[in-house]
């Protein structure tokens, strides 16, 4: 059927899309265009994303499998390295088809549940001073299929160990909102109930604060997918000293975007705050942070700075972290502490820089 539609896409093999990065509607359009027909979209999508099968193993696809393969790419992605930390956290190195490598982290939660931290870019352009990935610069963004492929590889690995991958956090390498279309499509695919079927509230996109894209993200997902903002300061002066992008989007613009962010039910914004001793942990800074948080349904997540070679800061002591928590409590700001996990395998926040693999 529709065999006459075939040559159209064959003329442009360079533009072949990554099959794993097509949302279900995009896949349906492609299947129509190449003469397979959109009636097969759900079966193909389910085969790729729920059963994680190669095209030619998808049931009842017959000769269509070869046609789809001819019009798409399916770049291989494998786990090149896995390093287990004594606390159960596992750092994964994903090898992409062009030889680029990105990192992910598997973090065991309660029961058999596991959280995966995925990467959205090879390196990062944001150059935050406290982040190891920021020292690498940006090589390229991942396409949606490369983001989804990390989840598929991790899903298989976790299942083989008897666990269940339940949460996805975009907190690996890269700035997901600097690379928004791929992030958006990946989230759409991951949420699709014909495929991986992750719950929106179990997906968290973390951003350094690309304000226009935060607003776009709110429009696209209506606040159902969790947003985390890496704030890390209470004042513009401090924020600008540690995050170059802060000069572009100041505290007030961030606060307005957060106030406008839809939060269904009892949902809260996550505000990440890396504790840098002597930099952002003084009473004036925390006063300003508390004022910034006023009237905003949010949870401030304190992250003790994880040091890396050449870092211009030192790690806070547990006391120094608790002192910030005490200041927040006194100011009635809801907060929690993310005690570091995976430090011994350089898989903790901000330590992802591929030091072992080059």
Return the HEC string of 150-190. Answer: HHHHHHHHHHHCCCEEEEEEECCCCCHHHCHHHHHHHHHHH
Q: Which is nearer to ligand SAH, 185 or 272 (CB)?
A: 272
Q: Does 175 bind ligand SAH (CB under 6 A)?
A: yes
The DSSP code for 200 is G
Site string for ligand SAH, 113-152 (x = CB under 6 A): -----------------xx---------------------
For position 346 contacting ligand SAH by CB under 6 A, the verdict is: no
Q: How far apart are CA 143 and CA 138, in angstroms?
A: 14
Q: Select from 105, 349, 353, 354 the one that contacts ligand SAH (CB under 6 A).
A: 349
CB of 230 to ligand SAH, least distance (A): 4
Residues 6 or more apart in contact with residue 134 via CB below 8 angstroms: 124, 126, 127, 128
Total number of residues that touch ligand SAH (CB under 6 A): 15
Minimum gap (Å) between residue 49 Cβ and ligand SAH:
24
Footprint on residues 209-238 left by ligand SAH (CB under 6 A): 230
Alpha carbons 33 and 112: distance in angstroms, whole number = 42
Given 211, 303, 328, 353, the residue binding ligand SAH (CB under 6 A): 303
Secondary structure class of 6 (helix, strand, coil) = helix
Q: Which of 208, 225, 271, 300 binds ligand SAH (CB under 6 A)?
A: 208
Is the Cβ of residue 303 or residue 345 nearer to ligand SAH in the bound state?
303
Q: How far is the CB of 161 from ligand SAH (least distance, A)?
A: 24
Question: Contacts from 35-44 at CB under 8 Å and sequence distance 24+?
Answer: 35/1, 35/2, 35/3, 35/4, 35/5, 35/6, 35/67, 36/2, 36/64, 36/67, 36/68, 37/1, 37/2, 40/64, 42/194, 44/68
Q: Is 206 in the site for ligand SAH (CB under 6 A)?
A: yes
Question: Is 349 an active-site residue?
Answer: yes
Applying CB under 6 A, does 251 fall inside the site for ligand SAH?
Answer: no
Tokens 């083989």 locate to: 160
146 is catalytic: no
Which one from 103, 175, 272, 285 is the annotated catalytic residue? 103
3-class DSSP assignment, residue 252: helix
For ligand SAH, give the closer residue by CB, 217 or 305. Answer: 305
Supply 257's token pair. 């975007």
Is residue 222 a contact partner of residue 264, using CB atoms and an 8 Å limit?
Answer: yes
Among all residues, which ones are annotated catalytic?
A: 103, 349
The footprint of ligand SAH (CB under 6 A) covers: 130-131, 171, 175, 206-208, 230, 272, 274, 303, 305-306, 349-350
């Amino acid at each position: 059927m529709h065999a006459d539609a075939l040559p159209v896409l064959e003329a442009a093999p360079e533009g072949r899309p990554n099959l794993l990065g097509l949302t279900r509607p995009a896949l349906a359009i492609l299947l129509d265009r190449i003469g397979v027909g959109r009636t097969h979209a759900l079966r193909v999508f389910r085969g790729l994303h729920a059963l994680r099968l190669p095209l030619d193993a998808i049931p009842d696809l017959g000769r269509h499998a070869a046609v789809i393969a001819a019009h798409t790419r399916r770049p291989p992605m494998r786990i090149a390295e896995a390093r287990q930390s004594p606390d159960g956290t596992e750092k994964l190195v994903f090898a992409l088809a062009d030889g680029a490598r990105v990192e992910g982290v598997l973090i065991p939660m309660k029961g058999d549940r596991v959280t995966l931290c995925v990467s959205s870019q090879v390196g990062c352009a944001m150059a935050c001073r406290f982040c190891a990935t920021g020292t690498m610069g940006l090589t390229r963004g991942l396409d949606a299929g490369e983001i989804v492929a990390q989840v598929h590889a991790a899903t298989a690995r976790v299942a083989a160990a008897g666990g269940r991958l339940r949460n996805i956090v975009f907190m690996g390498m890269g700035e997901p909102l600097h690379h928004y279309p791929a992030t958006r499509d990946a989230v759409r695919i991951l949420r699709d109930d014909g495929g991986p079927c992750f719950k929106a509230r179990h997906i968290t996109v973390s951003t350094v604060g690309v304000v226009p894209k935060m607003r776009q993200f709110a429009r696209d997902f209506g606040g159902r997918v969790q947003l985390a903002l890496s704030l890390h300061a209470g004042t513009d002066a401090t924020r600008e000293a540690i995050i170059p992008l802060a000069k572009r989007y100041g505290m007030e613009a961030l606060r307005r975007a957060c106030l406008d962010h839809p939060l269904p039910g009892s949902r809260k914004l996550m505000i990440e705050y890396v504790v840098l001793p002597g930099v952002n942990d003084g009473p004036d800074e925390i006063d300003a942070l508390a004022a910034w948080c006023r009237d905003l349904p949010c949870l401030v997540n304190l992250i003790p700075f994880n040091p890396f070679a050449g870092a211009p800061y030192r790690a806070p002591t547990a006391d120094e972290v608790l002192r910030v928590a005490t200041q927040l409590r006194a100011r009635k700001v809801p907060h929690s502490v993310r005690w570091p996990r995976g430090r011994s395998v350089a898989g903790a926040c901000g330590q992802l820089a591929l030091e072992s693999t080059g």
